[in-house]
């Protein structure tokens, strides 16, 4: 099974700072736009959750078909967002803890 992942760092002002398409799935430009749209749509959910919990790792905040959005929020409200098709929550948490 091909693995899909899109990693984005978003500033506290909702400005994308960094974006990378990673994974073993074939890279297509139209999918890149699709991934950006899904992550952008999840920002509202992330903002609401960030103010209601003290946790930095927000786990699965949104889903679209077989893709899941997981988020890590820093103390400065920068969001590390990962769009993925993995079901390994511990693997995703490990990814964020190594990157932050």
Place 28 in a pLDDT band, splitting at 50, 70 and 90: low
What is the tens place of the pLDDT at every residue in 13-26? Answer: 989 999 988 776 65
Gyration radius of the chain's alpha carbons: 13
CATH number of 17-88: 3.30.450.70
What is the rounded end-to-end Cα distance, in angstroms, of the chain?
28
Say if CB 10 and CB 79 are below 8 A apart.
yes
Mind listing the pLDDT tens digit for each residue in 37-74?
899 999 989 988 888 888 888 888 888 888 999 999 98
Whole-prediction pTM = 0.83
| 42 Cα distance to chain centroid | 9
**What are the residue ranges spanned by the domains of the chain?**
17-88
């Amino acid at each position: 099974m091909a693995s899909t992942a899109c990693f984005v760092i978003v500033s506290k002002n909702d400005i994308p700072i960094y974006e990378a398409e990673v994974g073993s799935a074939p890279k297509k430009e139209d999918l890149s736009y699709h991934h950006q749209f899904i992550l952008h749509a999840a920002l509202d959910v992330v903002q609401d959750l960030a103010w209601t919990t003290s946790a930095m790792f927000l786990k699965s905040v949104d889903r679209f078909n077989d893709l899941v959005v997981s988020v890590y929020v820093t103390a400065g409200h920068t969001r590390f967002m990962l769009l993925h098709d993995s079901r390994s929550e511990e693997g995703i948490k490990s990814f964020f803890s190594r990157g932050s």
